Amino acid sequence: MPVFGPGTLTIGEVGAEIDVSCLVNNAVLSASPTTSDPTTKLCGTQKPGATTYTCTLSGNLDIDPDDPDGIFCLSWASPGEELPFLFIPNSEVGTSAAGALTLVPLDFGSTGAYGDDMTADFEFQVLWKPVLDCNAAPIVATGATAGTPGTWAPSGSAPPADAASATAIVASPTTAWTTGQYVQGSTAGVGGEMHWDGAAWVAGRAT
């Protein structure tokens, strides 16, 4: 049975999109029907009401107010802006949803205790109707770019499980990654963390 993740959520125009995949704690694309009241004609026959749908992309994510080019700052700078999105809950399955959503400013702060991560629930209205591709073949990663964490290429691709499975992955940069940099494989937690040491993929974060 498919599970949630590893997957991808990007927001923005292609080439300038923001990849928020490593911030998302949970996300779901939902469609809700609304049916108008039926109408009764003079002759006594009844015409059913019309059904329309509204769609939302909602969930919870870690906010990134320390990134001026991140989703948090964008949500406050451009509220109400319609932007493309791509949502792939599980890259190994490959099924994707693409469309346009309307930005809403993300909450700033925390309802938790001192020292807790700052997270925000989100609910973006999605223009009806998003395009679901249920016949997409799984996209396998061929490259990885250093970061904290870094990203896999192409966007939305399924990463290898761990360093031992990453022999075919091309690292960027090809020199040894710097302290703290890594990418997250499909194995959850530290078991899936790996970095490029300049010659090979090594488990864990660069030191």
What does the pLDDT look like over 48-88, one tens digit per residue? 999 999 999 999 999 999 999 999 999 999 999 999 999 99
CATH of domain 8-35+52-133: 2.40.30
Q: Would you say residue 26 has pLDDT above 90?
A: yes
| Secondary structure (DSSP) of 104-135 | -PPP-S-SS-TT---EEEEEEEE-S-PEEETT
* pLDDT higher than threshold 90 for residue 47: yes
pLDDT on residue 114:
92
SS (H, E, C) 68-90: CCCHHHHHHHCCCCEEEEEEECC
Domain boundaries, the chain: 8-35+52-133, 143-203
Q: Compute the mean pLDDT over every residue in the chain, rounded to the nearest whole number.
A: 92
Three-class SS state of 18: strand
Mean pLDDT, residues 106-125 taken together:
93
With beta carbons less than 8 A apart as the criterion, state whether 62 and 109 touch.
Answer: no
